[in-house]
A and B are shown apart, each in its own frame.
Chain A
Amino acid sequence: MEYLYYPGCTLVDTARNFDRCGRAAARALDVELVEMPDWTCCGTTFPLTNRKIVGLVAPVRTLVNARGEGYEELLTLCSFCYNVLKRANYAVRNRGDERMRINAYLEDEFVRAGQEYDEYEGEVEVVHLLEVLRDTVGFESVTAQVTRPLTNLKVAPYYGCLLLRPQSEIGLDDADEPTVLEDLLGALGCDVIDFPHRVECCGSYLGLSSPDIALQNSYEIVHTASRLGADVLAVVCPLCAYNLDLRQEEMHQRFSGFRQVPVMYFTELLALALEVEEEVYSWERHAVDPLPVLQTVGGI
């Protein structure tokens, strides 16, 4: 299996461990991720007003380029990229007016650059690695290929917002009662916690613009996971990881009785269970070091 892969800005920067573990683990499962050449910004946020059509140009340009590479699917890992690309694709497919305007814009751009342009109608399918693991590889097959089951490791699965919502446009899983992450972690042998705050917002970019406020959101999530006895909090998005992991030191200072919990990308857990080679991990990127608990509980 081969997929065109769109890493996005953060996965080649602060979330390199997310990216590398993802690629390596996919390869171990016989899924080849081919990085898209010359990829550009996804647009970061999906424009939520009718007047901001320009915000759709960046994601649609990415999709047009993916089509140019001859792939029918474009795979992402970052929730932001996934959300923006998928929603932009949905808009092109379902909203004629927007499709027309974006195509007109892109056509102009391509023609000026001396390239040919065919109207884009949403031909490319945006997929997330979790979808591929669930629907194409199959969790049973994942289990079969796990060589180091993460038995006894209590994991709180955390989805955040953008991977699931809006359900009508994304459709990866039920927005309130998702199971894909639980099922994957279960396939790896983890002891999965019924985590009530798995779809609450971590504070998102307010972690940067209003850090005091966002800290309360992140704290409630980490603290609950901690109280429920989680060894690890598994995440899907680099911004979640930033809010939930890098700010635990502040939580520790602000809230008494707080116990730290390591935060890991699901790809890291996947790579560990598949015993992928050492160099993909970069444990120094974690503010709360997961190694002690992985060693004592996970037997790694």
Chain B
Amino acid sequence: MAGIGIFVCDCDGELSERIDLEVLGSRLQEHPDVVDVIPHPHLCSEAGLALIEESLAGKGLGAVLVAACAYDLYDVAFRPIMEKAELGPGQTVNLDLRVSSSRDENVKARTKHSVDRALALLDRLELPSDKLELVPEEADHGVVRRALVIGGGIGGIQAALDIANSGHEVVLVERQPSIGGHMIQLSETFPSLDCSQCILTPKMAEVGRHPKVRLLTTSEVTGLEGRLGRFTAKIERKPRYVLDSCTACGDCVDACPVLVCDQFNTGLRWRKAIFQPFPQAVPSIFALDDEHCLGLFPLACGKCEQVCEPGSIDYDMQPVTEEIEVGAVVVATGYEMYSYGDVSEYGYGKYDDVINGLQFERLLSASGPTMGKVMRPSDGREPKEVVFIQCVRSRNPERGKPYCSGICCMYTAKHAMLYKHRVPDGQAFVFYMDIRAGGKGYEEFVQRAMENDGVMYLRGRVSKVFEENGRIVVWGADTLVGKRIEIAADLVVLATAIVPNDGYESVAQVTDLAADEHGFFTATHGKADPVGGSVPGIYLVGCCQGPTDIPETVAQASGAAAKVCALFAAEPKRAVPEPMLAEA
């Protein structure tokens, strides 16, 4: 039986500086399917290419792994040779050694990382026994021109729209009953202070009615087999218990007797067990929360069904798993706010008036639980002194996350500013370590908060927060004057760390995507290929690969769409260019 051949490139000494290629070779040689490991100083040179061609013919290799330096050079240099030897995409795979090692500090760690990645890739190769079944379908260079987008936040929406507008089919999968993600929860966005809902809902509506987009809400991807150009995705559609005929009239909500903590409003409000997360939800079909609904035991309740005029409620709905073929996958699973345990020294979870940034967004939002009026959760009073604490569990390897959460400096400045707009006689304080305002117009925005809105910035961390006489006392420091600071505040807002959405684990498992120790997916290369995932044909967008603000997420989404569309490019490249050029 033909086995796997591995070609290892040294990129003219560049790679052996970083990785122990001998160890890599000998470790891979141990793999049962590997028949040969062939090193070469410069595989993409003519001599190197000739060596590959010879080996493919001479050794009768059934599958090939090329471990080299270049992330997309593979396409140009190596694929033609592979195709010539009748090795399809399922039988060849490229490992970018520079990428697989770029995050590690020393040679040993880099080598180990590279070996692990290579072994994972070897498992994806299909040896010749499978090959026969695959070949006949390889019409149209074997690419299924349909994309799967996982996650319906701004990143997923934008990627879906761009791909669909280029004429390709998209399946957009979202766990929640509506698309919109975290962005739809936000009040206004920095630095332009646009209303978040106002700018997002048109995009949501567009994706919802796009003829090329199939929107699957309350659904999850539970399996993904195959490879670049031809994946088979298993999608579990969880029962919504409400049929598409729902007209969102809301009669059921009035009838429902069950009150549930409203997650969309970050726990600051109640909702019913049958609900629409927010009025502009897409699809605008209600959903039934099966954890809390009484009607699933029909004897207990059934009130919503009784009042539903179109008869849209079906308590007997069952989960359905669908298999869909796609050619590429875009992962846009987003983020959560840090909530592992309590942030005990700040009394988060203990005091009602210590909230996180997302909760404050809901307090500011015109459609939020207070209609945009700033009130503190404990007693509804308007807070006159508000302390914002940044870097809560960010930049904190000891008690939280070592990384910077990227967006908090800006949203905190925005929070403080909006708070001052709502409560002109109030005072906002911000504890920070470094103000990270690196985007377009960001620096000016923070300056505005300080100068025009009189937000007091204090450079230092906060050690402790506690309640005394109905006020929230904050013990911090101003390292610039070298003094300790005590503020008796009415409300404290914590910019807690951004962590991957809790669905990342199942997505990682299903897709085989590499993730860092925090659960953020790693791009093949932060600089050269920022949207490429570690598995060919899977692309990464937004916060699933690290804290990212909205414009960057949108740009990445479009970037990922470009990769997908290039893959789906309908017309094969023309051999001869036909430039319409004329000497003037």
Contacts and interface: CB of A to CB of B under 8 A. Distances in A.
A174 B399 CA distance: 13
B342 A196 contact: no
Q: Is the interface of A mostly helix, strand, loop or mixed?
A: loop
Q: Is the interface of B mostly helix, strand, loop or mixed?
A: strand
A196 B468 contact: yes
Contact of B344 (A176, A196, A224): A176
A196 B468 CA distance: 8
B36 interface: no
B473 interface: yes
A38 interface: no
Nearest to B463: A176
A177 interface: yes
Interface string B43-54: 000000000000
B327 to A, nearest CB: 50
B342 A177 contact: yes
Interface string A248-267: 00000000000000000000
Nearest to B343: A176
A257 to B, nearest CB: 15
Contacts of A177: 342, 344-345, 350
Nearest to A174: B344
7 closest Cβ contacts across the A-B interface?
A196-B466, A177-B344, A176-B344, A176-B345, A174-B344, A196-B468, A196-B467
Interface string B328-361: 0000000000000010110000100000000000
Interface string A192-206: 001010000000000
Nearest to B398: A168
Interface string B180-192: 0000000000000
Interface of B: 342, 344-345, 350, 464, 466-468, 473
A196 B473 CA distance: 10
Contacts of A196: 466-468, 473
Interface in A166-197: 174, 176-177, 194, 196
Nearest to B344: A177
12 contacts: A174-B344, A176-B344, A176-B345, A177-B342, A177-B344, A177-B345, A177-B350, A194-B467, A196-B466, A196-B467, A196-B473, A224-B468
B538 to A, nearest CB: 39
Contacts of B467: 194, 196
A177 B344 CA distance: 6
A224 B473 CA distance: 13
Contacts of B464: 176
Nearest to A178: B344
Interface in A236-294: none
A142 B473 CA distance: 35
A61 to B, nearest CB: 33
A1 to B, nearest CB: 32
Contacts of B350: 177
Contacts of A176: 344-345, 464
Contacts of B466: 196
A19 to B, nearest CB: 32
A176 B466 CA distance: 11
Nearest to B469: A227
A174 B343 CA distance: 11
A175 B467 CA distance: 18
A196 B470 CA distance: 13
Nearest to B345: A176
Interface in A30-79: none
A32 B467 CA distance: 41
Contacts of A194: 467
Contacts of A224: 468
**Which of A174, A176, A224 has the most B CB atoms < 10 Å from its CB?**
A176
B450 to A, nearest CB: 31
Nearest to A198: B466
A140 B342 CA distance: 26
A174 B466 CA distance: 16
B545 to A, nearest CB: 32
Contacts of B342: 177
Contacts of B345: 176-177
Interface in A205-231: 224
A196 B350 CA distance: 12
A177 B347 CA distance: 9
B49 to A, nearest CB: 54
Nearest to B473: A196
Nearest to B468: A196
Given A194-B467, A196-B473, 5 more contacts: A174-B344, A177-B342, A177-B344, A177-B345, A196-B466
